[in-house]
Structure 1
């Protein structure tokens, strides 16, 4: 009986833990956007002006509607002309123009529907021969960068994230033949990096199987998950 209770308790943690953390982060994000947007909305348009309690998410809805409307207005000729004029003014500011162009290029790359950045996970020998690290493959170099790289081999840009914070790391070019492409998704690769190898792609499927098994009546879930090591 104690073994079954312990197994059910661990299964409950596996199921409830991610749900609780996701709900907390979602609630925090909603309140954050509300705090940014609501001060710009006139009080007569706020629901809490007429109700005895605030409506969470109202600021998020206003932000989504405003961003969609902004994209619609800039899609026509008049809106595009106004945007070009504003970018021309920013281009005349010595410090602001460099910052704006860099941030704009990053956003265009990340949110581009036709972009190919960070869609492939690979392995490279880093920091020394015989030590393999996970990288995210980006677009190949173009223009002067491609001409200046030595050797006849095709090069590729890769980003090597750090553990446990994948937003920091190293960016470099190397021959494509030195990268071993993996069939796992970028999301699975990021989980593998953030967990320092504890959450393997196969292990994530086993976690899902554990949660499904716990829902089956009359069966006691397994208490441990044997990680599957990557070959090579």
Structure 2
């Protein structure tokens, strides 16, 4: 009767388990996020009058109709805000919300972030950079956000300095805003999406398909 090597069996089971988790976890999380987004957007149908509800004329609520309605609302608001009259209404609405004490702080912060990230006029996150952080000799990925402005520009000339955002890993929504000299910045050929993937994966997923995790052989400690 053949002898079973328990160590090899345990090692194979461990490899299979990790391989299965690497395949299933991203798939499950993606499906869960999509299901949450679709189910949340489907609640947009609740704003319709009862006579217009899909249950009245279809006998059921097809999944995804709320997504179509939400997209139609966003497109309609965008089309309205793109003309002169709509632009004036948006300005009036913005001025009104600025006068409400608690709402003002929340709305202003969210609007500034969305304007920076989504506006075509902004230049945030348009280029991936390589900077030394948090000290000389240590390098990390950063993103160009602009140039020093306001009173800061008197002390740090925009022609000499850049405003950059240094994200944290693996959550790039947190990070540091710093202003560095142009000579201390190395522009990267990778896109912003590739750089974000590089940051989120903690350097494991390298743009170009190469593996970033390489063995590091530390020198042996000298005997005392």
Give the TM-score normalised by the residue count of structure 1: 0.72
Deviation at 1:227, TM superposition (A): 4.1
Verify: 1:147 aligned to 2:154, yes or no. yes
State the match for 2:123 in structure 1: 116
Secondary structure in 2 matching 1:80: helix
Which one of 100, 106, 109 corresponds to residue 107 of structure 2?
100
Verify: 1:178 aligned to 2:184, yes or no. yes
Give the TM-score normalised by the residue count of structure 2: 0.75
Change in 2 beyond 3 A, CA 1:10/1:108: same
Change in 2 beyond 3 A, CA 1:199/1:146: same
Secondary structure in 1 matching 2:170: coil
Deviation at 1:19, TM superposition (A): 5.2
Secondary structure in 1 matching 2:190: coil
State the match for 1:199 in structure 2: 205
Deviation at 1:164, TM superposition (A): 0.9
| 5+ residue gaps, structure 1 | 1-8, 207-225
Which structure has the bigger radius of gyration?
2
Verify: 1:190 aligned to 2:199, yes or no. no
Which one has more relative contact order, counting CA pairs under 8 Å at least 6 apart?
1
Deviation at 1:193, TM superposition (A): 1.2
Aligned CA-pair RMSD: 3.1
State the match for 2:137 in structure 1: 130
Secondary structure in 1 matching 2:146: coil
Secondary structure in 2 matching 1:201: coil
Change in 2 beyond 3 A, CA 1:76/1:195: closer
Change in 2 beyond 3 A, CA 1:88/1:137: closer
State the match for 1:157 in structure 2: 163
Residue 130 of structure 2 contacts residue 140 of structure 2 at CA under 8 Å; is this kept in 1? yes
**Aligned pairs, number:** 202
Q: How far apart are the structure 2 equivalents of 1:122 and 1:54?
A: 48
Deviation at 1:162, TM superposition (A): 0.8
Q: After superposition, what is the alpha-carbon deviation per residue over 1:63-92, rounded to whole angstroms, capped at 9, x for unaligned?
A: 111122122223334333333332332233
Change in 2 beyond 3 A, CA 1:22/1:152: closer
Residue 148 of structure 2 contacts residue 158 of structure 2 at CA under 8 Å; is this kept in 1? no
Q: How far apart are the structure 2 equivalents of 1:152 and 1:30?
A: 44
Which one of 25, 43, 52 corresponds to residue 33 of structure 2?
25
